[in-house]
Amino acid sequence: MAYSYKGAITFGLVYIPVTLISSVKNNDIGFNLIDKKTMSRVKYKKTCVDCGNREVKNEDVVKGYQYEKDKYVIFTDKDFEKIKTKKDKNITIQQFVNLNEVDPIYFDKAYYVNPIGAENAYEVLLNAMEKENKAGIAKAVLGTKETLIMIRAKDGTMLVNTLFFANEVLKAPQIKKLKPIKKEVDLAVTLINQMTGKFEPEKFKDEYNLKLKKAIKSKIAGNEIIEYTEKEEPSKIINLMDALKQSLKGNAKNA
């Protein structure tokens, strides 16, 4: 499997060489941009602004920082690597926290941790974190950006979650607080409990993706797409109490 990072996890004087392997795959269906008159592909070109919009090849594109108007300093990949210390390149655990203390709003991407040496140290760290329900909080420079990282254990597997820094997470919008009616809250609690079950991700399918694939096949065959309609349109109930009561009845029938 292709890996996204090769380096090491360190805590104290313990050094574990690892690779990070993506834990998810992209199932998005890709569409090209087409000129509807000619049915030809539309492409975006990199052009030189001060060269009469001459096209620039990818190998001739470099990164530049504008320090004054129209004045840049150029950074190459080697330049970025030169300013990284060994600590920056490694995933250095700075502290451990209780796993349930980390709000999911900070989660970005998840990776599987694959040891490529010091397997015993890997297993010791994995088992210790799982036993204590702890996660390691670390930092590392991935690419050209310092990244906050959480290392955790789940079902005998070590994972890394990249996290957003606190200053990247926006504050919640201010919402006018209303005092709810106790009877409505009690009905909502009953409905929630009635609808509660074990989280089984395999039960949830990307139905729109399946319909889109079916529509593509239909188009290829020269057929028109048939509009999907709901079997049963939900009735509009304005009163919240009535809506909760009807939801409870409907959910009881489907149980």
Full residue range of the structural domain in which residue 217 is found: 182-254
154 and 237 belong to one structural domain? no
- Residue 233's pLDDT is 62
Question: Which tens digit of pLDDT belongs to each residue from 110-147?
Answer: 999 999 999 999 999 999 999 999 999 999 988 788 99
- Residue 2's pLDDT is 61
122 and 191 belong to one structural domain? no
Q: What are phi and psi of 167, to 5 degrees?
A: -80, 0
Is pTM, for the whole model, over 0.75? yes
Angle subtended at Cα 164 by Cα 163 and Cα 170, rounded to the nearest 5 degrees: 145
243 and 142 belong to one structural domain? no
- Residue 103's pLDDT is 95
131 and 187 belong to one structural domain? no
Q: What are phi and psi of 9, to 5 degrees?
A: -100, 130
Question: Which tens digit of pLDDT belongs to each residue from 58-85?
Answer: 889 999 999 999 899 999 888 988 888 7
